Structure 1
Amino acid sequence: MSTLLTNSDARRLFLFLHGLSGSLNNVRDKVELPGVIKQIGFVQIDSIKIVERAHHHILFSRSNLYDHAWLDYHLEEKRSLFENWTHDASIIPMEFFPFWRHRFSRAHDKLVGSLWWKNRMGDNPGKLCHRVLDYVEKNGATKSRDLSHGNKDSSSKRLENVTSWWGWNPSKAALVFLWRTGRLAVAKREGFQKSYDLTERVVPEIYRNIEHSEEEYINWNCTTAIENIGFGSHTEIANYWKGISPQEAKNWCTKSLNNYIMKTQIETVDGETVLSWAHPDIFAWVNILPDPPNIVRFLSPFDPLIRDRKRVQRLFGFDFKIEIYIPESKRVYGYYVYPMLEKDKFIGRIEMKVDRQSSRLIVHGFWLESDFKLTKRRQKMIESELHRWRSFLDLDYIKSLVAELEV
């Protein structure tokens, strides 16, 4: 049997594992949402909303019928999903919560030694955390502003009244610290602001009572990572959940060779080969994979498919960077630009913004990669995706400021 995974098959497999090979109509109702998130592992949360926030964008990229209320239902009512940390703030299947016990312990050890946290939490972080926990226990779901500006309950005195540092007064820092270390959980959001409550009042008991050993924790991190990305270096395996070190992943790979993982050659877009760790069933998967649909999707800059920029360049030949922190005069493209995926290739970028006052989705920028031309068929697919987004955003019109796109 060949041990070379061709670039074409590697791209197809990677798209499939990230939920981008199926029809946009496959996911039909909210009951199926946790399964979608489990398939891709987690969904990153981000506050920027030029068109749509990243978590909603990622899910709409995989389902035409997705509705914002689906996520609220599973996070706040069904409790089948929870918010915590992977490489960043993320939405995670609740069934994975037992493995976060070890993450909470590791996060505690890391954060208490961090000068960044020490500067924000003051000279006595232990006492501050105790006061914040006591406040949440007595008052229920708590937002950071509740601690800075009092509570509706007249008997509750203001907990903190200090000058904020980058918006992070000690009480907010304590809330986030307690969330990152497992004492608090996100109970709900109002607008985009988190409300924290005691973990035992948010996470179902069945998940809080399961315990895993350190070895089981490392094994879970590695097996689920290789199941969700298919192949990668030990560093890429460790970085998937960002829950273990690259050395721990390397030790696991070496120990598990020929049982849960194997070595294989992966062909890059340039025709070179890279020796990589891979799931033992990778070639069986490739034989039954569907081809990606012949449509164009506008992906979020935070989509899990493109999270690892070096891997995207290696597999797809697509060099993508987020330019929101780059001065306008130095940007190559735009402030917040969306990669355009057609079948298994990135064909370019598009910059869109929402104007609620005029009920318009406005195209501000459009750039095709050098290997692609704007054929009539391609233009029709791009326009179809624009109308899909216009409908999802409940807008009336599309306005293009780009000469090539006359929508």
Structure 2
Amino acid sequence: MPATPQPLPLTAVRAAILHAQGLALPNGAEPDPTPNLILRTVEQLGCVQIDTLQRVHRSQYVALWSRLGTYDPADFDRLIYDPDQRTLFEYWQHAASIIPLSEYRYRLQYMKWFRDGTDYRDHVWQADMEDVTLAEQVQARILDEGPLRVADFEHDGGPRGTWWDWKPAKRALEYLYNRGELMIADRVHFHRVYDLRERVLPDWVDTSEPTMEETYRHMVERSVYALGLADPGHAADYAYDVKRKVVKRVADDLLAEGVLVEVEAELMNGKPRTLIAHRDRLPLLEGAADGAIQAERTTFLSPFDSLFWAKGRDRAVWGFRQVLEAYKPAPTREYGYFCLAILHRDRLVGRFDPKVERANGVLRIEALYLEPDVAPDEDLIAGVAAAMRDFMRFHNADTLVIERSDPAAFGEKLLAAL
């Protein structure tokens, strides 16, 4: 595809990206979401970002629902925390993430950074500690007593908030976790349970340590593959923990070797732009170009979804501005607290601000929006209604309340279709 006479059309660009991200399959066509399919989905994305906000299911669970439809979150949890099924683990990748254990060795250099004290968080922790042996004491307790939570350590101070105000034991646990000496063995009411690495990490996991350069190459190649189409800046955003100048250098090397290829692609402004793709994605791009591969799914996307990790691609490819306003004061929010984007086929057509009232089975939409150039026609309403039914099923909700809709006809038609 490097020598294609015509740029890849925008519809094909969208289809290729959405297919690479597991967001192209028609609703109802997905296989039954078995644990093996859940694992393959996480492997396809590279990792799934963890977030604590819980107006609906937490973001990591919604990300899988967006691609698989209703599934049992307990199946996902068992892949992370059940010693007999563990194939995923928690660590830093795209921020705090759930990562395939097949990727464990490519986190070892980052753990080494923490052990060497080259990350600023280590220096802050050491400077603030009254007793620099606390980490050893915490580790010794876990060795003797087994897995422990922060709550298992006493602290005389009052409630703690942001990370720099954690109680000392919490900071010691995170220090040991960052260094790879502890792992997350479980979650209890979403609180981390820490244990020694050797008691959590399965024996089959490859722990041979690649060089930093090998790690960089792997992360860039893996990111471009997951993105479908990108530029080096997008790959840096996706990889997250690799500096942009490093990504550019590594991408240039991979282009020279033919592992990555250049693709002329049409974007929202109508002007062709040179993007990069993994050579293994060439059949996907060709299928998207001739119409054999299309984006056919209607679903909803968390603000932390991996589709949005590449900064600016939402506007460049879809003309859509993804925002997270949970951390803004309420009067300054444009759309709402935790808006989910609405994907309909190959377009991002709107968003809504949901809240699940778990006690009474209500899914309350505080605000529902369509993009200005989108009309609530029959096809759109049918697609959104089907996705909303499944979203409600996933949250055990049997009643939908829409407080406000812009335009009003969108909410009215959606409620009628449901």
TM (norm. structure 2) is 0.88
The Cα of 1:282 is off from its aligned counterpart by 4.1
Instruction: State the match for 1:267 in structure 2.
Output: 266
Instruction: State the match for 2:317 in structure 1.
Output: 315
CA distance in 2 between partners of 1:321 and 1:107 (Å): 32
* Equivalent pair of 1:316/1:346 in contact (CA under 8 Å): yes
* Equivalent pair of 1:390/1:396 in contact (CA under 8 Å): yes
CA distance in 2 between partners of 1:27 and 1:201 (Å): 34
* Equivalent pair of 1:43/1:55 in contact (CA under 8 Å): yes
Residue from 219, 223, 226 that aligns with 2:224? 226
CA distance in 2 between partners of 1:172 and 1:113 (Å): 13
The Cα of 1:283 is off from its aligned counterpart by 3.8
The Cα of 1:208 is off from its aligned counterpart by 5.2
Q: Which moved more, 1:243-252 or 1:135-144?
A: 243-252
CA distance in 1 between partners of 2:62 and 2:386 (Å): 16
CA distance in 1 between partners of 2:12 and 2:307 (Å): 15
CA distance in 2 between partners of 1:165 and 1:381 (Å): 44
Residue from 97, 101, 119 that aligns with 2:104? 97
Does 2:85 correspond to 1:87?
A: no
**How many percent identity over aligned positions?**
25
Instruction: State the match for 1:156 in structure 2.
Output: none
Q: Kindly provide the CA deviation profile for residues 297-352 of structure 1, in whole angstroms up to 9, marking residues without a partner as x.
A: 11111111112341111111101111112222221111111111000101111121
Instruction: State the match for 1:38 in structure 2.
Output: 43
Does 2:360 correspond to 1:358?
A: yes
CA distance in 1 between partners of 2:347 and 2:336 (Å): 21
* Equivalent pair of 1:309/1:319 in contact (CA under 8 Å): no
* Equivalent pair of 2:349/2:374 in contact (CA under 8 Å): yes
The Cα of 1:210 is off from its aligned counterpart by 2.5
Q: Matched residue of 1:5: which SS?
A: coil
Q: Matched residue of 2:275: which SS?
A: strand
Q: Matched residue of 2:90: which SS?
A: strand
Instruction: State the match for 2:175 in structure 1.
Output: 177
Residue from 8, 26, 31 that aligns with 2:30? 26
Instruction: State the match for 1:111 in structure 2.
Output: 119
CA distance in 2 between partners of 1:266 and 1:258 (Å): 21
Residue from 62, 67, 75 that aligns with 1:70? 75
Deviating beyond 6 angstroms after TM superposition, the runs of 4 or more aligned structure 1 residues are none
Alignment of 1:211-222 (within 5 A): 211-222=209-220
Alignment of 1:317-332 (within 5 A): 317-332=319-334
Letter in 1 for 2:54: K
* Equivalent pair of 1:221/1:243 in contact (CA under 8 Å): no
* Equivalent pair of 2:91/2:99 in contact (CA under 8 Å): yes
Letter in 1 for 2:24: S
Superposed CA RMSD in Å reads 2.1
The Cα of 1:281 is off from its aligned counterpart by 4.3
Q: Matched residue of 2:323: which SS?
A: coil
Residue from 145, 148, 162 that aligns with 1:142? 148
Letter in 1 for 2:218: W
Q: Kindly provide the CA deviation profile for residues 156-184 of structure 1, in whole angstroms up to 9, marking residues without a partner as x.
A: xxxx5445542611110111121122111
CA distance in 2 between partners of 1:209 and 1:365 (Å): 48
CA distance in 1 between partners of 2:302 and 2:402 (Å): 20
* Equivalent pair of 1:387/1:398 in contact (CA under 8 Å): no
Instruction: State the match for 1:6 in structure 2.
Output: 9
CA distance in 2 between partners of 1:346 and 1:239 (Å): 20
The Cα of 1:205 is off from its aligned counterpart by 2.2
Letter in 2 for 1:39: Q
The Cα of 1:284 is off from its aligned counterpart by 2.7
Letter in 2 for 1:5: L
CA distance in 1 between partners of 2:209 and 2:62 (Å): 34
Letter in 1 for 2:193: S
1:238/1:105 CA distance change after superposition, 3 Å: farther
Does 2:203 correspond to 1:205?
A: yes
User: Gaps spanning 5+ residues in structure 2: where?
Assistant: none
TM (norm. structure 1) is 0.90
The Cα of 1:240 is off from its aligned counterpart by 1.9
The Cα of 1:139 is off from its aligned counterpart by 1.3
CA distance in 2 between partners of 1:174 and 1:349 (Å): 40
The Cα of 1:291 is off from its aligned counterpart by 1.1
Instruction: State the match for 1:385 in structure 2.
Output: 387
Letter in 1 for 2:273: V
Residue from 304, 307, 312 that aligns with 2:306? 304
Q: Kindly provide the CA deviation profile for residues 94-145 of structure 1, in whole angstroms up to 9, marking residues without a partner as x.
A: 11111111121124434356665456x52444x1211111111111111111
Q: Kindly provide the CA deviation profile for residues 206-240 of structure 1, in whole angstroms up to 9, marking residues without a partner as x.
A: 32532323332222112111211133333332332
Count of equivalent residues:
393
Instruction: State the match for 1:334 in structure 2.
Output: 336
Greater relative contact order (Cα < 8 A, sep 6+): 2
1:381/1:239 CA distance change after superposition, 3 Å: closer
CA distance in 2 between partners of 1:346 and 1:193 (Å): 34
CA distance in 2 between partners of 1:7 and 1:95 (Å): 34
CA distance in 1 between partners of 2:139 and 2:120 (Å): 17
Q: Matched residue of 2:54: which SS?
A: coil
CA distance in 1 between partners of 2:206 and 2:279 (Å): 32
1:2/1:107 CA distance change after superposition, 3 Å: farther
